[in-house]
Amino acid sequence: MDDFTNLRVSPPQSVQEALDLGHVYHDQLVAAMPGLLVHRGDTILHCSATLARLLGYETTESVQALPSAMALVPEDDQHTEKDVYARCLKGLIRSQVRRIKRHRADGSIQWFDQLMESVDWGGQPAVMEMLTLMRPLAANAELPHQEQLLQAAIDAMPNGVLMLDSDLNVEGANSEFYRLWDYPVGMFPPGTAVGLILTYNHSRGDYGDVPCEETVAALCNRFRVKGIYNSERRVPNGRTLDIRNAPRADGGYVITHHDITDRKRIEDELRQAKERAEAILKELRETQRQLIVQEKMAALGQLTAGIAHELKNPLNFVNNFAELSGELLDELLELLEPLNDHLDDATRVDVNDLAGSLQGNLRKIADHGRRADNIVKSMLAHSRGGGGEWQTTDLNGLVEEALTLSYHAFRAQDRSFNATLERRLDAAVGEVKLVPQDISRVLVNLFTNSFYAVRKRQLICGDSTYKPTLMITTETRESYVSVRIRDNGIGMSPAVIEKLFTPFFTTKPTGEGTGLGLSLSYDIVVHQHRGRFDVSSIENEHAEFTITLPRSVTAMSLGERRKT
């Protein structure tokens, strides 16, 4: 029988000696190699030479000649094994590691560590068993009873155990230790210096490029730490081991190795799942926030439109009667003209003064009435959205047109104003289905706000080197296009950004802004075109507005949407 555990040798002093030991024990080491058996429960398809020898057969053919794989299974285990094989053949067990018994040729029983896998063998499912010889319990028979008990106890442990004496020489190890570290069983017999094991690990590349002596010295020092400590190691076969070093009262050490690969994998999966859940939650919160804003905006838009409607008629009366009163006053003055000579000087001056004041007041009423009329018209634009036609439009062309229009309009009011206009218009943006009239209104509003912001900064800072600049970028991504307008004007505080889309919110002085531009733009982009409106800014540095539109959206006017 290939029983190398009974052979007594002095421990190896070098890696070379350990390897030489491998030669000396050539047969025994081969025995420690996994034997391979492939079968379909009944038919044996393949048996490796190693396995044939481990089972005490002369040739592989003699194993293959057995009536079935069950012939190798002891009576007691046959019922269970049949079931396991059947499940493996059905693919219900993909891979499994167990300890099992098998019949040897002479009828004796041999324990093995078994890795069983379901494999495809010539297009048919088959069971593949890799069998590694376990230390036979009989090998302990020569040891004193207490030692036998101890060896039996550590062999039965599900964890790998390595015992070291106070000089860090191996005193013993169980087969799980050899399995976890992928060492041939018995490679490091009692007396082997632990440094040699570490040197072996280094030679097979466990520690990467770190110099050998340095690594071995550092790891040996770790063993000598007084007190229990745990460390985690990933071994080359992909397992993660939790290694616990516990000093013993006699100066030696017990080092246990716990395979935590599955726990680590589950922890990793849990962490990833948690991260995914957090990301989804964040996205949901953001969507919820946007929905609330959208609803608020829609409600405010309707309110605005309602108020505007109510104001429109009385305002028409005010404007018309102011105009009519002006005309009536002119007529009255004409009629009174011939009577002028009958009035004394003081009365004539009083009459003329009163008539002048009356005319001035009527002009003011007409002026402010016109302003109020403009505001009401803007307010009504909220409810009128979607009035324009949906058209396939060259978006870059529309941006260019709106930019030129806004720039000239702004310069018409302030001839001294100049700004650098940087365009990064991506030709790939091409044509987009939108309502050009409404998107143009959005763009003009954004450009005008930017010109206002850069001009304001120029006037405030008085720095002759300051260059008012607008950068206009268009981009296309998947089924979306975007227009980004960035200016280096006064920027906005977070408090301003918060209220930006609220109707009537303005920071401009009375007469210069209505606070309706962005709220109307938001309605057009988000509700009418199902797009997004994004803003970012740093005060006194920049402001950036990005509108993102779907390339094509079902033509549905804002009016229609609101009715739903």
Binding residues for ligand ADP, per CB under 6 A? Answer: 445, 449-450, 453, 487, 489-492, 496, 500, 505-508, 513-519, 543
Cα of 198 vs its chain's centroid, Å = 40
Q: Please, what is the minimum distance in Å from the beta carbon of residue 395 to ligand ADP?
A: 21
Pick the closer one to ligand ADP by CB: 183 or 504: 504
- Minimum gap (Å) between residue 266 Cβ and ligand ADP: 51
97 or 538: whose CB is closer to ligand ADP? Answer: 538
CB atoms under 10 Å from CB of 385, counted, come to 23
d(CA 119, CA 88) in angstroms, rounded, equals 9
Report DSSP state, residue 345. Answer: H
Residue 69 neighbours by CB distance under 10 Å: 24
Contacts of residue 1, Cβ cutoff 8 Å, sequence gap at least 6: 56, 104
Q: How far is the CB of 543 from ligand ADP (least distance, A)?
A: 4
Q: Which is nearer to ligand ADP, 345 or 463 (by Cβ)?
A: 463
In the complex, least distance from residue 564 CB atom to ligand ADP, rounded to whole angstroms: 26
**Minimum distance from CB of 426 to ligand ADP (Å)?**
22
**H helices of 157-251, where?**
175-181, 194-203, 212-223
Q: How far is the CB of 276 from ligand ADP (least distance, A)?
A: 37
Between 312 and 499, name the residue whose CB sits nearer to ligand ADP.
499
Of the two residues 67 and 509, which places its CB atom closer to ligand ADP in the complex?
509
Nearer to ligand ADP, 112 or 533 (CB): 533
Query: 507 with 456: CB under 8 angstroms?
Result: no
For the bound state, the minimum distance from the C-beta of residue 488 to ligand ADP, rounded and expressed in Å, comes to 10
Q: Which is nearer to ligand ADP, 129 or 487 (CB)?
A: 487
CB closer to ligand ADP, 261 vs 540: 540
SS3 270: helix
Task: Work out how close the CB of 410 gets to ligand ADP at its nearest, in angstroms, rounded to a whole number.
Answer: 12
Instruction: State the minimum distance, in angstroms, from the CB of residue 476 to ligand ADP.
Output: 24
134 vs 218: CA distance, rounded Å: 32
- Count other Cβ atoms within 10 Å, centred on residue 160: 22
Nearer to ligand ADP, 204 or 377 (CB): 377
Beta-bridge partner residues of 452? none
Q: Which of 112, 151, 97, 76 is nearest to 2 (CA)?
A: 112
Shortest distance in whole angstroms from residue 297 CB to ligand ADP:
12
Dihedral over alpha carbons 234, 130, 150, 140 (to 10 degrees): -140
Distance CA 534, CA 174 (A): 65
Residues sharing a CB contact under 8 Å with residue 331, sequence separation 6 or more, in sequence order: none
CA distances from 458 to 169, 407, 423, 488 (A): 81, 16, 21, 10
**What is the distance between the terminal CA atoms of the chain, rounded to a whole angstrom?**
87
Measured CA to CA, the distance from residue 208 to residue 546 in angstroms comes to 50
Using the 8-state DSSP alphabet, how is residue 104 labeled?
A: -
Kindly state the tokens that stand for 231: 């460390």
Q: Compute the distance between CA of residue 442 and CA of residue 520 in angstroms, rounded to an integer.
A: 8
Shortest separation between residue 559's beta carbon and ligand ADP, angstroms = 21
Of 195 and 517, the one with the shorter C-beta distance to ligand ADP is 517
How many CB atoms within 10 Å of residue 90? 10
Q: Closest CB to ligand ADP among 169 and 521?
A: 521
Contact assessment for residue 68 and residue 91, using Cβ atoms and an 8 Å cutoff: no
